[in-house]
């Protein structure tokens, strides 16, 4: 046994200082995609939507008059649009991509003959931090439910316990029982057969409680939207407080999402670039 | 018998080569069962699947034989909605036939237990893989009745799942126990069934690849590679050297991070937390290197039909070259101490034991198969990508317990590192492939890869317009779950269960699909 202690000590501290300091792994894997609408023409928008394997990019109309919707909550980051139109679609490398409302993940732009696409100002009401959030500022117990994932999200959740992330240092804990849980973290599309166990878990949690939708499958169904066996997305079934996009969300993006849920982090991501989206 | 071609000849089956390395034969319906059972006695039944769609339903059996790089696929058209079961003579066919009944509505006549594998709340007469499904679905039979496997004084049943204790995949297990001993375990799977193969039908091959990469997260690359290779072979697309080498490298990186993760979770399951943390740290390092190489921690989006979406960056490859000796040094040190920690190895010895003769009837794949003497690894047996240019050993053991499975994974870690090193030493000029001239397009083909869990075999039929007509995925976990209950019931205690689960490391998503 003493040899294991030696091995542990010898490796030293590997743990990130995130969020008080940026993590060295920041930027190795993109956390989302952002759209720079001024770099996209109507023709390109129609072409880009044809490349998208999910419904993250949808267009109406044609190259001369129409609209494009970019929904980061459906983007699996396959990179097809980023490779085809690198000026218009950029990978967002910062991990702070979680948001508090579903609307904040999508933007719509319209164009008419003679003028290029312009963003529609979405009337998104400022999401007020819920008072209950403050209750969990110091410690949050999380009940995870896999509602039909591919195991990618679970793998990243398990990595949160790896020495590099060590979620316990932030007062975050996974709990086996919903009775002790403050937050329900859901991954995967909600399949027909997981809907009831998911509802049961939510109902067994005491109030107040938070719900975090992690990964595009939970947010919008991702690549599985439209399957007969799928009941998702999650916010059709449970009230969702925080959305963490990604396929899967990186461990740092998950940490940011959890900290956002308890009011210890700010929203930084906007699907149409913006100063905070870089 | 040395080759499948000779084997087919002895049975008088005429074979034709479609894609390279694939022998196909159409045989009459009434002879199918007899011939498949006869071939399966001499060769390994690697898959048995049905297609239903336009035209008659069909059945296809895929075989491989140790020492023969070719595959043999035998197909028959069915005139009705039933076929004669071969399960009584070929045990490995049991779950395939149950799946065919459940998903395609074809009845295996004579199957000893044709129960459902995945669907709980789903009406009879609406097989989800068979078009068209009535969208106005009535109520189903509900969750299967929980019949105790064991009856007797003091025997009770403990349900576990589908929502598990940690951040894990969903699946349910029923334990029959007399208090401490694990008499029987019945897995209730299928909670996560998404009908991926059906979803891909009619989509472009590129969109199909996005789904294949999401069939299971930790084997994203193995499934993506098997799918894309099948599609390329079906469309007659050839791949150049550079893309092949890069694919081989990524295949090994995925095997590596899975093995690190699985060994770490096994250590965690026995309470050896320092080892668990050290292996998790190694896994995280591999994932970060993958992210730098391909912009994705699980290598999604790296593959494209005809090669890669982008060449692997040279600077990051050099970094990987520096990682390999470090990873080797650290993993060897951890391995030496692990193997010398008696409290750890004692928990694994004889735990979840599989008798090799019993295991052989299941045609197991991957480390689970190789721990029971099944000498099967499609990187060596059916070399794909650049595996014919590297040398490596395939470890095989015969004890069949958790310790043997650990031993296989520990050895494979070192082999993977050696393969990565060999590839980096002879790295061809950067390409993304796609330069190959289109060859003959057979329209449908097999594709395979060896993931961390074992042989992953896909079959894809592509329309002339480049869309997925039909897709059959047979991931490693589909084969290996079949033997799980037997391993659990080999004289273990309830407290052994976390060790059993971690030593098998079976993916629910891969099975449920």
| DSSP calls for B68-85 | EEEEEEEEEE-SSSEEE-
Nearest-angstrom CA–CA distance, B281 and B287: 10
Q: Are residues A136 and A114 in the same domain?
A: no
**Secondary-structure percent of chain A, ordered helix, strand, coil, rounded to 5:** 30, 20, 50
Chain B residue numbers touching A228 (CB-CB < 8 A): 128, 133, 135, 195, 198
CB contact under 8 A, B214 and A247: yes
Give pLDDT, residue B445.
92
Could you tell me which residues come within 8 angstroms of residue A136 by beta carbon, excluding any fewer than 6 positions away?
A182, A183, A210, A261, A262
Segment A88-100 shows an average pLDDT of 88
Task: Please tell me whether the peptide bond between A248 and the residue prior to it is cis, using omega within 30 degrees of 0.
Answer: yes
Cβ neighbours for B21, distance < 8 A, ≥ 6 positions apart: B69, B70, B71, B382
Q: Taking 60 as the threshold, does the pLDDT of residue B142 lie above it?
A: no
Q: Does a structural domain hold residue B63?
A: yes
Nearest to B24 by CA among B234, B184, B193, B224: B234
| Domain presence at residue B218 | yes
Highest mean pLDDT (candidates A224-238, B9-23, B457-471): B457-471
Other Cβ atoms closer than 10 A to B170: 28
The mean-pLDDT minimum among B33-47, B301-315, B427-441 falls in B427-441
- Which CATH number goes with the domain that contains A141? 3.40.50.12280
Q: What is the pLDDT of residue A227?
A: 80
Residues A141 and A246 in one domain: yes
**Cβ contacts of B194 on chain A, cutoff 8 Å:** 148, 189, 191, 224, 227, 229-230
Residue B98 and residue B30 share a domain? yes
Structure tokens at B501: 């689960």
Nearest chain B Cα distance for residue A130, angstroms: 26
The torsion of the CA quartet A64, A69, A72, A74, rounded to 10 degrees, works out to -110
Chain B residues lying within 8 Å of A153, measured CB to CB? 217
A104 and A153 belong to one structural domain: no
Residues B248 and B373 placed together within one structural domain of the fold: yes
Q: Do B178 and B326 fall within a single domain?
A: no
pLDDT (0 to 100) of residue B127: 82
Span B155-177, pLDDT tens digits? 888 888 788 888 889 988 888 88
> Tell me, what DSSP letter sits at residue B391?
-
Is some CB atom of chain A closer than 8 A to the CB atom of B114?
no
Bigger pLDDT: B285 or B142? B285
Give residue A47's pLDDT. Answer: 83
Regarding whether A254 and A157 lie in a shared domain, the answer is: yes
Is residue B139 predicted with pLDDT exceeding 70? no
Query: Does residue B422 surpass a pLDDT of 80?
Result: yes
- Residue B119: list chain A partners with CB under 8 A: 193
Of A60-64, A139-143, B142-146, B375-379, the poorest mean pLDDT is in: B142-146
Query: Nearest by CB to B190, which of A11, A78, A193?
Result: A193
pLDDT at B34: 86
Query: B173 and B76, same structural domain?
Result: no
The answer on B76 and B170 residing in a single domain is no
Do B210 and B181 lie in one domain? The reply is: no
Q: Is the pLDDT of residue A77 over 50?
A: yes
Of A171-175, A222-226, B21-25, B67-71, which range is least confident? A222-226
> Taking a contact as any Cβ pair under 8 Å apart, which residues of chain B between 320 and 379 contact chain A?
333-334, 337, 340-341, 343
Contacts of A181 in chain B (CB under 8 A): none
Q: Nearest-5° angle of CA B144, CA B149, CA B152?
A: 135
Chain A residues touching residue B215 (CB < 8 angstroms): 150
Q: Which of residues 148 through 177 in chain B touch A, CB cutoff 8 A?
A: 162-170
What residue in A sits closest to B188 (Cα-Cα)? A193
Whether residue A86 is contained in a domain is answered as yes
Answer yes or no: are the C-beta atoms of B469 and B231 closer than 8 Å.
no
CB-based burial of residue A88 (10 Å sphere; 0-12 exposed, 13-18 middle, 19+ buried)? Answer: buried
Based on the fold, state whether residues B368 and B458 are members of the same structural domain.
yes
A38 touches chain B (CB under 8 A): no
Statement to judge: residues A135 and A254 lie in one domain: yes
pLDDT at B283 over 90: yes
- The listed range with the strongest mean pLDDT (A42-56, A79-93, B243-257) is B243-257
Query: Hey, CA dihedral for B356, B358, B363, B369, is it positive or negative?
Result: negative
User: How far, in Å, CA of A168 to CA of B451, rounded?
Assistant: 32
Select from A7, A78, A224 the Cβ nearest to the Cβ of B194.
A224
Rounded average pLDDT over A87-100: 88
Round to whole Å and give the CA distance between B119 and B143. 8
| Domain stops at, among B109, B143, B171 | B109
Domain assignment present for residue A137? The answer is yes
pLDDT over 80 at B186, yes or no: yes
Q: Is A13 exposed, middle or buried (0-12, 13-18, 19+ CB in 10 A)?
A: exposed
Q: Which two tokens stand for residue A95?
A: 């991990």
In this structure, the answer to whether residues A84 and A156 fall within a common structural domain is: no
Task: Give yes or no: residues A196 and A256 share one domain.
Answer: yes
CATH number at residue B493: 1.10.645.10
Chain B contact for A252 (CB, 8 A cutoff)? no
Residue B131: pLDDT above 70?
Answer: no
The pair of three-digit structure tokens given for residue B96, joined into one six-digit string: 């395939």
Using 50, 70 and 90 to split pLDDT, how confident is the model at A244?
very high
Looking at the structure, tell me whether residues B243 and B166 fall in a common domain. no
Whether B437 is covered by a domain: the verdict is no
Q: Among residues B249, B290, B284, B282, which one has the least CA distance to residue B420?
A: B249
Average pLDDT over residues B70-88: 90
> For residue B240, is it within any domain?
yes
Domain membership flag for residue A74: yes
Mean pLDDT over the full length of chain A = 85
B510, B453 in Cβ contact below 8 A?
A: yes
Span B244-260, average pLDDT: 94
Please check the confidence at residue A278 and state whether its pLDDT lies above 50.
Answer: no
Within a domain: residue B379? yes
Question: How many domains are there within chain B?
Answer: 3
Residues A102 and A141 placed together within one structural domain of the fold = no
Which ranges constitute the DSSP H helices of chain A? 2-11, 42-51, 80-84, 131-135, 152-159, 195-204, 216-220, 251-261
Say if B171 falls within a structural domain: yes
CB contact, 8 Å: A137 with chain B?
no
Distance (Å, rounded) from C-alpha B338 to C-alpha B432? Answer: 41
Question: Contact at 8 Å (CB) between B63 and B381?
Answer: no
Asked if residue B118 belongs to a domain, the reply is no
Instruction: Tell me which of B103, B142, B160, B163 to substitute to probe the interface with A (most A C-beta atoms closer than 10 Å).
Output: B163
Q: Is B292 on the interface with A (CB under 8 A)?
A: yes
- Looking at the predicted structure, is the pLDDT value of residue B135 above 80? no
**Which is nearest to B492 in space by CA: B349, B341, B340, B345?**
B349
Instruction: pLDDT band for A186, please (50, 70, 90 cuts).
Output: very high
Same domain, A246 and A213: yes
Same domain, B166 and B242: no
Say whether pLDDT at B434 is over 70: no
Q: What residues form DSSP beta bridges with B186?
A: B174
Q: Is the pLDDT of residue A277 over 50?
A: no
Q: How far is CA B27 from CA B73, B89, B450, in A?
A: 11, 19, 30
In the stretch 66-85 of chain A, residues with CB closer than 8 A to chain B read 76-80, 83
Q: What is the CATH number of the domain that holds B21?
A: 3.30.460.80
Q: Which domain holds residue B171?
A: 156-188
Residue A126 has pLDDT above 70, yes or no: no
CA of B267: which chain A residue's CA is closest? A4
Considering only alpha carbons, which residue of chain B is nearest residue A217?
Answer: B214
pLDDT digit string, tens, across residues B374-414: 899 999 999 998 899 999 999 999 888 999 999 999 999 99
B263 and B351 housed in the same domain: yes
Is A194–B194 a contact, with Cβ atoms under 8 angstroms apart? no
Average pLDDT of span A44-67 = 84
Q: Which residue, B71, B87, B109, sits at the end of a domain?
A: B109
Our count of domains for chain A comes to: 2
In which residue are the tokens 């938070």 written? A210
Residues A87 and A156 in one domain: no
On whether residue B138 sits in a domain, the answer given is no
Q: What is the DSSP string of A47-102?
A: HHHHH-SSSSEEEEE-SSSEEEEEEGGG-----HHHHH-TTTEEEE-SS---BSSG
The fraction of chain B above a pLDDT of 90, given in percent, is 42
Q: No. of H helices and E strands in chain A?
A: 8, 11
CB contact under 8 A, B283 and A53: no
Mean pLDDT on B340-363: 88
The residue among B188, B204, B234 that closes a domain is B188
Interface contact A222-B280, CB threshold 8 A: no
Q: Is the Cβ–Cβ distance between A35 and A257 less than 8 Å?
A: no
Radius of gyration of chain A (CA): 20
Q: Kindly state whether residues A172 and A107 are assigned to the same domain.
A: no
Give Rg (Cα) of chain B: 22
Span B240-267, mean pLDDT? 93
> What's the token pair of residue A148?
């039909």
Give the DSSP letter of residue A222: G
In-domain check, residue A143: yes
Chain B partners within 8 Å of A200 (Cβ): 163
Quick one: A84 and A163 in the same domain?
no
Indicate whether B138 pLDDT > 80: no
pLDDT of residue B63: 92
Domain range for A228 is 131-261
* Those residues with Cβ within 8 angstroms of residue B445's Cβ, 6 or more apart along the chain or in another chain: B18, B19, B22, B230, B231, B233, B234, B459, B460
């Amino acid at each position: 046994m003493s040899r294991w202690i030696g091995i542990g000590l010898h490796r030293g501290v590997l743990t990130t200082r995130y969020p008080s300091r940026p993590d060295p792994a920041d930027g190795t894997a993109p956390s989302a995609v952002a759209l720079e609408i001024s770099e996209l023409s109507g023709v390109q928008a129609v072409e880009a939507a044809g490349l998208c394997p999910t419904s993250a990019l949808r267009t109406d109309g044609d190259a001369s008059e129409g609209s494009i919707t970019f929904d980061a909550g459906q983007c699996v980051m396959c990179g097809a649009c980023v490779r085809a139109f690198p000026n218009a679609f950029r990978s967002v490398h910062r991990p702070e991509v979680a948001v508090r409302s579903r609307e904040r993940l999508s933007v719509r732009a319209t164009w008419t003959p003679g003028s290029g696409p312009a963003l529609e100002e979405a009337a998104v009401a400022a999401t007020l931090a819920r008072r209950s959030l403050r209750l969990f500022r110091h410690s949050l117990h999380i009940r995870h439910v896999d509602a039909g994932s591919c195991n990618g999200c679970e793998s990243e959740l398990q990595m949160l316990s790896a020495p590099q992330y060590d979620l316990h240092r932030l007062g975050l804990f996974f709990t086996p029982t919903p009775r002790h849980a403050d937050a329900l973290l859901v991954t995967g599309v909600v399949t027909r057969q997981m809907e009831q166990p998911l509802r049961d878990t939510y109902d067994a949690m005491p109030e107040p409680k938070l719900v975090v939708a992690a990964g595009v499958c939970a947010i919008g169904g991702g690549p599985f939207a439209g399957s007969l066996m799928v009941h998702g997305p999650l916010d059709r079934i449970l009230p969702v407080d925080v959305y963490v996009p990604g396929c899967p969300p990186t461990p740092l993006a998950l940490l940011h999402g959890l900290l956002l849920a308890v009011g210890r982090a700010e929203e930084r991501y906007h699907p149409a670039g913006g100063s905070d989206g870089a | 018998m040395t080759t499948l071609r000779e084997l087919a000849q002895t049975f008088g089956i005429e074979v034709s080569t479609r894609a390279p390395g694939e022998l196909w034969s159409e045989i009459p319906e009434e002879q199918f069962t007899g011939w498949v059972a006869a071939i399966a006695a001499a060769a390994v039944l690697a898959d048995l699947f049905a297609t239903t769609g336009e035209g008659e339903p069909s059945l296809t059996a895929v075989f491989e034989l140790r020492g023969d790089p070719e595959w043999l696929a035998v197909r028959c058209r069915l005139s009705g909605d039933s076929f004669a079961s071969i399960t009584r003579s070929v045990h490995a066919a049991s779950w395939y036939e149950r799946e065919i009944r459940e998903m395609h509505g074809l009845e295996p006549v004579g199957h000893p237990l044709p129960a459902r594998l995945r669907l709980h709340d789903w009406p009879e007469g609406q097989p989800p893989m068979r078009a068209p499904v009535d969208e106005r679905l009535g109520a189903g039979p509900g969750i299967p009745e929980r019949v105790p496997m064991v009856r007797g004084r003091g025997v009770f049943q403990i349900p576990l799942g589908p929502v598990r204790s940690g951040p894990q995949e969903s699946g349910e297990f029923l334990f029959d126990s007399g208090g401490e001993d694990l008499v029987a375990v019945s897995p209730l799977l299928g909670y996560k069934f998404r009908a991926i193969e059906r979803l891909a039908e009619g989509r472009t091959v590129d969109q199909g690849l996005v789904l294949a990469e999401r069939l299971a997260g930790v084997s994203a690359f193995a499934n993506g590679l098997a799918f894309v290779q099948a599609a390329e072979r079906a469309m007659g697309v050839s791949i150049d050297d550079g893309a092949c080498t890069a694919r081989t490298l990524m295949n090994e990186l995925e095997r590596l991070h899975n093995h690190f993760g699985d060994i770490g979770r096994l250590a965690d399951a026995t309470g050896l937390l320092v080892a668990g943390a050290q292996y998790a740290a190694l896994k995280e390092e591999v994932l970060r290197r993958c992210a730098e190489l391909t912009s994705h921690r699980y290598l999604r989006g790296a593959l494209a039909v005809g090669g890669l979406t982008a060449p692997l960056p040279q600077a990051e490859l050099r970094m990987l070259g520096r990682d390999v000796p470090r990873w080797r040094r650290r993993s060897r040190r951890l391995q030496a101490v692990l193997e010398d920690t008696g409290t750890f190895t004692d928990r694994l010895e004889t735990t979840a034991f599989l008798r090799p003769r019993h295991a052989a009837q299941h045609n197991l794949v991957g480390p689970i198969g190789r721990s029971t003497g099944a000498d099967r690894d499609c990187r060596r047996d059916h070399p794909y990508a650049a595996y014919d240019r590297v040398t490596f050993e395939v470890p095989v053991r015969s004890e069949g317990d958790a310790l043997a499975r650990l031993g296989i994974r520990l050895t494979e870690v070192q082999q993977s590192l050696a393969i990565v090193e060999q590839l980096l030493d002879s790295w061809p000029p950067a390409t993304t492939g796609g330069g190959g001239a289109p060859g003959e397009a057979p329209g449908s083909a097999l594709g395979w890869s060896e993931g961390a869990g074992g042989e992953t075999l896909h079959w894809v039929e592509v329309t002339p317009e480049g869309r997925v007509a039909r897709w059959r995925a047979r991931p490693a976990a589909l084969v290996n779950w079949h033997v799980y209950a037997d391993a659990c019931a080999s004289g273990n205690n309830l407290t052994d269960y976390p060790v059993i689960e971690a030593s098998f490391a079976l993916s629910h998503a891969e099975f449920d699909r």
